[in-house]
């Protein structure tokens, strides 16, 4: 005997609802399997800016698993690896990104940061110059130039470089940090306090945050 039409409709409705519910359950994880490289990269960048370095690296790893030639993911994974004291691996990422595009300014900045870590200031200075020749508005290039001047005890030149960095990117936390230290070294306490407090606003979870809080307590 044929089933009534309303019974057939009820069965199909049940199947539809069940499938939708199952799909929602599968899609409720924090990092869905189908996440695009773009959303994973943004997730990694958010972790990077919050100093959640292990999570940042994991996100950039996932981006590069989908797209091994993602230049920005290679660059930021390299910077994350520097924070994790895995400098040779960081250099490999920067070398890789420059193989893909020798004119990619952040890649040269990354190499410069590695050379600074290795105290090879001549090589670092060459990379920073290349960075800024390729893109005069690369904030990280100006920041690294300031760091190099700081190592050379050229405090006024360092201050000018950090200020140039902040003209381009007012939220560059470490430019505020270095400016605060430089002004404090010069005895310009008021200016030091402004920049050190701004550093804490932007990077409350940075490894240097407690040191800055102690310094502020001593000079305020």
Between helix 155-168 and helix 173-185 the angle, nearest 10°, is 150
Q: What is the pLDDT of residue 21?
A: 37
For 145-154, write each residue's pLDDT tens digit. 999 999 999 9
For 84-98, write each residue's pLDDT tens digit. 999 999 999 999 999
What are the sequence ranges of the domains in the chain?
171-220
Q: How confident is the model at residue 4 (pLDDT cuts 50, 70, 90)?
A: very low
Could you tell me if 157 and 149 are in contact, meaning their C-beta atoms sit under 8 angstroms apart?
A: yes
Portion of the chain with pLDDT greater than 70, in percent = 85
Tokens linked to 100: 């893909």
Q: Closest Cα to residue 63, out of 31, 90, 25?
A: 31
Q: Quote the CA–CA distance of 162 and 156 in Å, as a whole number.
A: 10
Between helix 71-83 and helix 105-117 the angle, nearest 10°, is 10
């Amino acid at each position: 005997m044929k089933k009534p039409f309303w019974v057939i409709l009820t069965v199909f409705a049940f199947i539809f609802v069940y499938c939708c519910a199952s799909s929602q359950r599968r899609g409720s994880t924090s990092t869905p399997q189908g996440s695009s490289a773009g959303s994973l990269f943004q997730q990694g960048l958010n972790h990077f800016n919050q100093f959640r370095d292990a999570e940042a690296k994991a996100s950039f790893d996932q981006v590069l698993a989908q797209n091994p030639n993602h230049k920005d993911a290679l660059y930021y994974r390299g910077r994350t690896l520097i924070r994790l004291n895995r400098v040779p691996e960081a250099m490999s990422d920067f070398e890789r990104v420059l193989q893909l595009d020798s004119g990619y300014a952040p890649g040269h900045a990354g190499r410069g940061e590695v050379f600074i870590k290795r105290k090879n200031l001549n090589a670092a200075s060459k990379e920073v110059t290349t960075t800024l020749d390729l893109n005069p508005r690369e904030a990280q290039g100006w920041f690294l130039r300031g760091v190099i001047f700081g190592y050379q005890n050229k405090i006024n030149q360092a201050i000018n470089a950090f200020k140039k960095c902040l003209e381009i990117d007012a939220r560059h936390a470490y430019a505020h940090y270095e400016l605060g230290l430089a002004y404090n070294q010069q005895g310009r306490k008021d200016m030091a306090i402004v920049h050190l407090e701004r550093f804490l606003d932007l990077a409350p979870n940075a490894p240097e945050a407690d040191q800055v809080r102690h310094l502020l307590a001593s000079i305020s």
